Structure 1
C-alpha cells in the first residue's frame, strides 16, 4: 500500500504537469495533499517523493536556471523536513499541550483542550480560505486547501484513538488521547538513533547528573481530574564524553558485543587502537582484565563503515538482488555463503564469492538463487543515459525519487550490524524508480533498432520482444519460485500448533513477532483457541499492556496480576534490583508482593536523589499442593512421587525489568489454577531460571512442580502422553510438502524446532520403555518409531533440507533398532558435509576464515557419525565417513590424520 501511494502521487503530479495551464489544474495538487495525508497512516515513505514533486512543479512553472534549481531543491528539502519533523508530530504535540493547559491549568473536563485545538484549527482554515478567495490569491488558496486535505487524510489516526478507547484485545501502545498518541507517533518505545551528531560505540558515558532530560510522561488521573506526571524522566537521556562523539555518527551501537565486532570488521579498525586492557582483579598468578576505551575511531573509519556496510551491504546488495541476481534467501552478514548478490556469470561471481564450481548442489538449488546476468541493470543504465540525453530535467526528477527512497533512507535509518532480518523492503521505492529507467531502456533499444530498420513497426516490436525475452522473462522464471507464497499456510498452522499444545484456559508466554502475531491472527480472525491468553514478554515491559492483560479477552480469563496500575505505571518499578540477603534462604514470592502492596517502603532504598526498588533475594519459591496439581492435570499421576511441595528456583541476575516483575506476580498468585506455558522459541532469558521445572508438551514448555536436571543439557522433561497426542494427532503442517511450496529461512528455522521435538519425544518414549536388560517395552518402542517416521513424512529432505537437527532423529532410529533408517540419514549427511567442506576449503584464506564456524560444525557432525557407526558396528557407514572426516580434519588442523583403528592397539596396551 505504501508503494501504491508513492507511485500514485508521482503519477498525479505528472497529470498536473499535463494540465498545468488549466485554471482547475491545482485540483491535482490538492488530491496529492490528501493522499499524502492518508499515506502517513501507512508509512512515511510517501513524503520522500516531495523533492521530486517540487522539481516537477518548478520545471513546469519557471524558467530554469542553476540558481532556480538550487532554490527549488532547497525548498523541497525544507518542505520535507517540515513535514517530517514539524507538521506530522507537531499537530499532535499542539493538541496534547492544549489538552494539558485546559485540563491541568484551567480545570476543564478531559478532552476539552483537544476539542478547542481542533476548533481553532478549523476556524483558522476557514478564515484562510475566505481571505484567499475574496482577495483572489489563488496560490494561497491552494496552499490552505492542500493543508486542509492533508489534515483530513492525516485525521485517519483518530481511528486509533477510537479503537483504543473501545479496549480491543489487541491495542498496542493504547493511544487513548492526544498525549499518548504523540508517544505512539514518535515511536518512543524503540529508543533513539543518532543522526547528525552522536557517540561512537566505545564512548564512555558522562555521569548521570550530566544527562539530558526527556519529555515527562503524563497519565490521566480520573480521581484528580487532571493529567499527572508518572515519570519526570529527568537526566534520563545519556550523554557521552565529547572526545568520543562525532558529526554523522555511523558506528554508534554498543548494546551488543557482536555489534562492536562488526564495527571493527567492516570499518577496518584494529581493536587495540580503540580499546585498552585494564587489570581488574587477580587470582594467584592470573590477572583478570577488562577492555576500556582508549581512543575513538577515526572519522575515516566511520565513513568506511558507512560505505562498506550501510551503503554497500545494506543497500547496493539489495539493489543488485533485484537487478543482477541473488545468491540465496539466507540472511547475510558478510559470509561468502549467505545472502550475497550473484549474477550467474562464473568469472564475475568467482571474484567476490570464490569458486562457484565447488558450490554444493543443495546450496545451488536454494529457491532464492536467482541469476539475472546483469541484464536488468544494463537495460536500466542504458535507459538512464537515454533519459539524460533526451530529457535532462526529467532525469533529475527520477534521480531525486531514486535517491530519496534509497540512499536518503540509508542515511536516516543509520542501521547497526546484525539486523534481526533483511531490510530490502525499506528501499522498494528506489528500486521501482530505477525500473522507470529500465522501461526507458526499451525505448532506447527501439531507437537503435529504428536506425537499422528504417520504416514500419519492426523496430518497436523487435525492441519490445528482445527486452521481454532478455529481462522480464528471465526475472520471472528465476524469481517466481521464491516470490510465490501460494498454497503455503505454515504461519497459520504453526500458530495453531502453539495453541494446540496448551491446556484449556492457559497462559502462554511468547517473546518475538514470529511467535506472537500469527497466534493473534488465528485467535482474532479464525476464532481458534481463544481460551488461551497469549502474553508477549517484549510488550510486558509496558503499563498499557499489563492493563490489557488484567482484562478478560474473548474466552480467556484475566491474567492474575495483583499489582494495581499505580504500582506499575511507567516510571514506577521499571527496574527492580535483586539484592541477596545472606541470612535469607528461599523467599515465598507471594510474601514479597504482600509487602509491596502494604508496606512498599520496606522494598525501597534511597540512593542519593533516587529511590530504588529491590527484592532482598534472588532465591524464590512457590508452595505446591501436590494433590491439586494431579487432580487438575498439571502433572500426570505417575509423576506425583517426584513432585515437590515447594517449587524453588533462583534468578541469576542483579536487575529484573518490569516484564519479569509481572511474571513473578503471576507466579505468586496463579495458585496452580491455570496452566502456565512458555513458547520454546522465547529463549533462555525469558525463562527466569525455571527451566528445571519445565515439561515439554509440543511447541511449549509447561511449568510443573517436578524438578528435572538433564545431564545432556536438554530443558526439563517430556510429558510423552500429551506431547505424543499433540504432535501425532493435533498438529497441522501448512502444506509445507506441497508441490512448489516455498519455505524461506524463517519457515525452515521453525521446521528445525519440529525436527528437534520429534527426536526428543522419541528418545523420551524409549527412556520410558527401556527395561533393566536393555530391551524396550514393545508399545513404547513402536510409538517412538512411529514418531520418527512421522517426522520423516511431514518434514522430508525435499521440503526441509538436512542439517545438524536431523542428527538426533538418526540417533533415535539407532536406539530403537532401526539401523537401516538411521544409516540412510547418516549416509546422506556424510554426502552433504563432504560437499560442503570441499567448497569451504576451496575458498581463499579470507573467505575461508569467514566460514570457520561452518567448517567446525561439519567436522563435528562427521566425527559424531564416525563414532556412532564404530560403536554400533555399522561398518559400511564407518568405511564411508572415516576417510571423509580424516581428509578434512587434516586440512583444518594442518596435521596428518590418524585413524582410531591405527592407534587402537597402543591405546589398549597403555590401558593395561
Structure 2
C-alpha cells in the first residue's frame, strides 16, 4: 500500500503543479497589458508608491503588490503589467489548491480508501482536473485573474485556508498537527489585510475541527454551529472594529485627559495588548492548558496579520499624493476600517426606504486635531417612525433613485400611513415584511447572486450590465425553449446583442455536472458534504446578507461571490465520480475512467474555455491607460483638472502617478472634494503640481464644519465671490442662520449670483482666452448658482475660482455629470474631452452640449495628441465599459466637426468625422445615437453617401431595439426605459436633422416610424 500511496501522492503533487502552469499560462496570455477600468488604477498606484487607497484598505495586498512592481525595473509602463501578472500567478496557485482540495475530498469519500489501489488513482486525479479546469475557465474567476485587483489574491487566501484545514484533518492524530491550525489562523489574519470576506470561511473550519475530533451528534452539530457563528461575529463585529475603538479610548484619556502628546494612548494600548497576549501564551504553557494555548496563539497570529494596517497609518502620516481619508491617527483609522464614509447598511434591524424621520440626534463621528487636543465633530443620527422599522431590513436606502426598483423587485403594495409634517399631512406607503422578503429573494438573492451563479455554470447573455430588463446581463443556457420562456425569443433580439462577445452558452453542462457531484458526495461522504455546503453557503448567501445591496449598483458584483463558485467547482469535480461510477458498471474500470475524463473534459472545461476566451482575452488592450492620458494631455501647463467617477479618475491617477504623464496637472475628484481631508490633501504639492490656491484657512474645512450651506438670498444682485467666501468663512453666529430654531447655527450663502473679476488683458496674455476669442470676454463674470444648497466641496471650488485670479487653467472632464456644473457650464469652452472654464458666456451652444468649442485647440488634441488604446484592432476585445467611453468620444468628434463647419473649415470637419469613425469601427461598436453628429457633419460637408450610410445604420439599429420592445410583454419591460428612450431619441434627432437639411425622403420615412413607435410604446403611459 505504501508504494501505491506514495505513487498517488507524487502524481497528485505533479498534476497540481501542472494545472498551476496551465492556468497561469492561460491568464498570462489573456491578461490586460496595462491598467484596467474601475479600481485597478487605484490599486496599482497604491502598490507602486505604498499609498492609501479607498476604505477599508488592503495593506497586505498593497505591500505584496509593491514587490511585484519592482520586477518592472525602471520601466514604469510595465508596472501595471507586473500587477496584472501577480493576479495571474495568484489565480494559478488558487487553481492548484482547488485541485488538491478536490482530490483530498474525493479520496476521503472513495470506497476502500484505507487500502487505495492503483486503479483508483486515475479517477481521483480526473475528478480534480475536471473541477479545477472548470473553475479556471469560469467567467467570474477568469475576469479577476487578468487585472490588477485584490480578488485574485483573496481567492488564493480563501482556497489556501480551506485546503490547509483539510491537511490538518488528515494529520490531526499526528504530533504537532496543531501547527496547521496556527498557520490557518495566521493566514486568516493576513487575509484581513486583503479582504475581510475571507473570514466567512471560518464556520467551515470550525465544523472540520468538530467532525474530526468529536463524535457527531445532532446536539453537537447545533452547538458547533452556534460556536461558529459566535466566533465569526466576534471577529467581524468585535475584533476588527473593536481594537481601534478601544485604542481610541486610551488615546482620548492620555491626550485630552492627561495632556500627553498625540499617539501616546495608542502606544500604551499596543504595549498592553502585546503584554496580554504574551502573558496568555506563557500562562497556557505553564498551566499545560492546550486548548487555551491554541486559542491564545491563534489570536496572537491573527493580530500579527491584522497589524498590516499599521502600514496604512504610517504611510498616511507621510502624506503621499493619494491619502484617502487621511487615516494618520487611531480615530481616522477606525473611521477608515469601518468604511463609515459609505454609510452603514443595517443588517438585523432598521428602517424601510420610505420611513419618515421623526427626530435627529447628533452622535460623535470622529475627532479633529486642534491645539494639541482631539475635538469631536458630529454627524446626524436619524430616528425613524416606529411603524417603518423592521427586523432583517432589506429595502432601507432612502435615495429617491432606488424607489422604483424597490417597488418593482418587491412588488410593493404596502400599508398606507398618514404622516403629519408641520401643518401638512402626507400618505406614505410602508412595505410589508413579506414584500421585504420578496425583494431579498428576487433581487438580492435571485438577481445579485443566482444570476451570477448561472453566468458561471449555465451561460451569460452578454457583457452589458444588467438592471432587470430582458436584454442586458441575464443568464442564458443556449437552449432556446428555456431561454425564450424567461427572456423572449432569442432570435428576435437586436443584432449587436446576438453578436456580443460576452454571449456564452454552456447548455447547463457545468451546472448538471456540479449537481451530480452534490448527489455523489452526499451519498458517499455526508459529513464532508456539509463542509463543502457550508463553504458554498457562507461565501454566497451569507455574503448577500452581509452586503445588503441596494438596487442600481454602479457595476456588476459577481466578484464578491467567487468563493461560492469555487465551492461549486469542487462538486463539478465530484460529478466526474458520479458519471464514472455509473459507467464502470458497464465497462472495464480503467477504460471507463479514460472515457469519462475525455468526454467530460470536452463537455465542460473545453466548452467553457472556447466560449469564454474571446470576452476574457484582454491582450493588446490599452484603452484605459490611453484615455487616462488623454484627459491630462487636454490640459494646459500647471492646470487643475476636475474628474468625478471611478473610470475618469483612477486611470488618470494611474498614468500620472505611475507613468509620470503630465505631473504638472493637479487632478481633483469632485466626489471626494466634499470631504475635509481631501481638501487638505489638495493643499499640498503633488509631483510637479502646485497646491490648490485657497484663501480660507484649513480649519474652515475640517470635518463636521461647513458640511452643508443653505442658499438664503438676502441680496438680489450679484455679489463679489471673494466676499461670499469670506462671509461663509466666518465663525461668528451673526454670519449664520438657525435652521431649526433650537440653536442649530450653520453658515449659509447670502446670494446665488457671484461676480468673478476678469482682467481681459491678463486672460489673453496667459492663454486662458485665445486671441481670436478676445471680443467675447465678459468682465466681470457672473456665476448664477443653480442649487438651493452647497456643500463643503462647492465652497472649496468657490474659494479656488476667486483666489486663483485666472492664474492656473481650470478644467472639468466631459464625463462629469451635468448636475455637478451648478451654473458654471455657461462658461465652458470644450477643448477635447475636457471643458475649460473661461470668462466667455455661452447661453446655448450650437456645436456641443455645454458652453462653446475652441475648434483650433480641440482639433489639435483630438487629432494629434490623443491615443485610443488599440480600440480599432479587430483582435482587441472591448467590453461594455470600453464601448461606453468610446461612444462618448465618437459624440465629441461630432461636436468638433460641427464647430469646424461653423468656422468654415470643411476639410478638417470631414477629417474629424472620419477619425471619429476610425477610432472604433462599426464592426466593433455599432452605429447608434452617439454617431449622429458624425453623420450630420459628413452630409453638411458634401459627403452625403457616407453620412446617409451612418443614418441608415442608426435607423436599423434603433428599430431593432424598438421592435423588440414592442414584441415584449409589458411585465418584462422594467429597465427598458433607457434602451427605448435613447433609440426613440435617435429617430427624433434623425427626423430633426432631415428637416434642417431638407432631406424630404428621409423625413417621410422617419416621421412615420416615430409616430408609429410613439403610439405603441407611450400610448398608455
For normalisation by structure 2, the TM-score amounts to 0.82
Q: Distance in 2 between matches of 1:159 and 1:467?
A: 47
The match for 1:563 among 673, 696, 708 is 696
Give runs of aligned pairs for residues 432-831 of structure 1, distance below 5 A.
432-455=566-589, 457-581=590-714, 583-596=715-728, 600-606=732-738, 607-710=741-844, 714-769=849-904, 780-831=905-956
The match for 1:2 among 133, 138, 154 is 154
Q: Displacement, 1:743?
A: 1.4
Q: Displacement, 1:868?
A: 4.4
Tell me if the contact between 1:841 and 1:848 (Cα under 8 Å) persists in the aligned partners: no
Q: Distance in 2 between matches of 1:613 and 1:489?
A: 47
The match for 1:220 among 369, 392, 407 is 369
Look up the match of 1:268: 411
Look up the match of 2:300: 148
Look up the match of 2:105: none
Look up the match of 1:901: none
Question: Are positions 1:27 and 2:170 aligned together?
Answer: no
**CA offsets, 1:376-417, max 9 Å, x none?**
110000000101001100011111111111111111111111
Equivalent pairs, count: 865
Q: Displacement, 1:858?
A: 3.2
Look up the match of 1:774: none
Tell me if the contact between 2:810 and 2:836 (Cα under 8 Å) persists in the aligned partners: yes
Tell me if the contact between 1:660 and 1:688 (Cα under 8 Å) persists in the aligned partners: no
Question: Are positions 1:250 and 2:394 aligned together?
Answer: yes
Look up the match of 2:322: 170
Tell me if the contact between 1:160 and 1:175 (Cα under 8 Å) persists in the aligned partners: yes
The match for 1:54 among 206, 209, 213 is 206
Tell me if the contact between 1:275 and 1:291 (Cα under 8 Å) persists in the aligned partners: no
Q: Displacement, 1:887?
A: 6.3
Question: Are positions 1:332 and 2:481 aligned together?
Answer: no
Q: Secondary structure at the match of 2:661?
A: coil
**CA offsets, 1:104-158, max 9 Å, x none?**
2222222221111111122122222222112222221121111111111111100
Cα distance change on mapping 1:642 and 1:11 into 2, 3 Å: same
Q: Displacement, 1:886?
A: 7.1
**CA offsets, 1:18-41, max 9 Å, x none?**
110112111111111111111111
Look up the match of 2:267: 115
Tell me if the contact between 2:994 and 2:1002 (Cα under 8 Å) persists in the aligned partners: yes
The match for 2:970 among 845, 863, 876 is 845
**CA offsets, 1:579-620, max 9 Å, x none?**
101x44111111123345567444213442211111210111
Tell me if the contact between 1:204 and 1:293 (Cα under 8 Å) persists in the aligned partners: no
Q: Distance in 2 between matches of 1:472 and 1:35?
A: 30
Tell me if the contact between 1:869 and 1:875 (Cα under 8 Å) persists in the aligned partners: yes
Q: Secondary structure at the match of 2:475?
A: coil
Tell me if the contact between 1:595 and 1:602 (Cα under 8 Å) persists in the aligned partners: no
Cα distance change on mapping 1:562 and 1:15 into 2, 3 Å: same
Q: Distance in 1 between matches of 2:1007 and 2:256?
A: 79
Q: Distance in 2 between matches of 1:298 and 1:733?
A: 51
Cα distance change on mapping 1:685 and 1:858 into 2, 3 Å: closer
Tell me if the contact between 2:809 and 2:837 (Cα under 8 Å) persists in the aligned partners: yes
Q: Displacement, 1:843?
A: 2.2
Cα distance change on mapping 1:517 and 1:870 into 2, 3 Å: closer
Q: Displacement, 1:894?
A: 7.6
Look up the match of 1:776: none
Look up the match of 1:390: 524
Look up the match of 2:310: 158
Aligned-CA RMSD value:
2.2
Q: What 5-or-longer segments of structure 2 have no aligned partner?
A: 1-152
Q: Secondary structure at the match of 1:339?
A: coil
Look up the match of 1:132: 284
Q: What 5-or-longer segments of structure 1 have no aligned partner?
A: 282-289, 770-779, 896-912
Q: Displacement, 1:863?
A: 4.9
Q: Distance in 1 between matches of 2:974 and 2:862?
A: 40
The match for 2:555 among 421, 432, 453 is 421
Q: Distance in 1 between matches of 2:189 and 2:991?
A: 65
Look up the match of 1:909: none
Cα distance change on mapping 1:71 and 1:857 into 2, 3 Å: same
Tell me if the contact between 1:533 and 1:557 (Cα under 8 Å) persists in the aligned partners: yes
Q: Displacement, 1:343?
A: 0.7
Q: Distance in 1 between matches of 2:554 and 2:665?
A: 28
Q: Displacement, 1:645?
A: 1.1
Q: Distance in 2 between matches of 1:571 and 1:894?
A: 50
Tell me if the contact between 2:874 and 2:924 (Cα under 8 Å) persists in the aligned partners: no
Q: Secondary structure at the match of 1:451?
A: coil
Q: Distance in 1 between matches of 2:224 and 2:530?
A: 12
Q: Distance in 2 between matches of 1:292 and 1:381?
A: 52
Cα distance change on mapping 1:755 and 1:278 into 2, 3 Å: farther
